[in-house]
């Protein structure tokens, strides 16, 4: 019985995830993005919470370090990210967002929220209530599963 439920969950996750990415999280941001990709914005989102090394960012998004270096070079050239020596070990380089990078990220988030609001507006109040509850439950359960160490 448990295996059947897990299979149902996996099927639904694999079906819903691409739909969320294509339909709700679209990068149709009306000039906000410039030449930036979702990957750039993922890095910016991480750096908005914590300053990290290139290796830490690469490990978190499963990208080879050389590819990550090129991605960071582009963000640095656009004055979005800055490289700083670590305060405790000057051999280590720590990445942080510039004020321009923070503003660009905020503009992008607002635009994505606006796009999602427009899409969700077609739902009834009851459907929105159902979705809100389902999303809260999903978030709680995903956080629980994510904290499990194998």
Chain centroid to Cα 122, Å, comes to 25
Sequence-ordered list of residues with C-beta below 8 angstroms from that of 39, at least 6 positions apart, any chain: 61, 63, 71
Q: Domains of the chain (ranges plus CATH)?
A: 2-147 (1.10.10.10)
Task: For 40-82, write each residue's pLDDT tens digit.
Answer: 888 999 999 999 999 899 998 888 988 999 999 999 999 999 9
Q: What is the pTM of this model?
A: 0.72
pLDDT confidence band for 135 (50 / 70 / 90): very high
Q: Is 17 helix (H, G, I), strand (E, B) or coil?
A: helix
């Amino acid at each position: 019985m448990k295996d059947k439920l897990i299979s149902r969950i996996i099927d639904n996750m694999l079906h819903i995830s691409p739909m969320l990415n294509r339909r709700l999280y679209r990068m149709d941001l009306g000039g906000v993005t410039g030449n930036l990709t979702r990957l750039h914005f993922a890095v910016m989102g991480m750096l908005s919470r914590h300053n990290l090394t290139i290796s830490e960012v690469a490990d978190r998004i499963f990208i080879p370090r050389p590819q990550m270096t090129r991605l960071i070079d582009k963000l640095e050239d656009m004055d979005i990210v800055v490289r700083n020596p670590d305060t405790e070990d000057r051999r280590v380089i720590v990445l942080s967002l510039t004020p321009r990078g923070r503003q660009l990220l905020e503009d992008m988030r607002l635009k994505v929220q606006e796009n999602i609001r427009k899409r969700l507006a077609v739902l009834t109040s009851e459907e929105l209530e159902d979705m809100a509850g389902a999303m809260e439950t999903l978030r709680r359960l995903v956080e629980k599963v994510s904290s499990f160490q194998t």
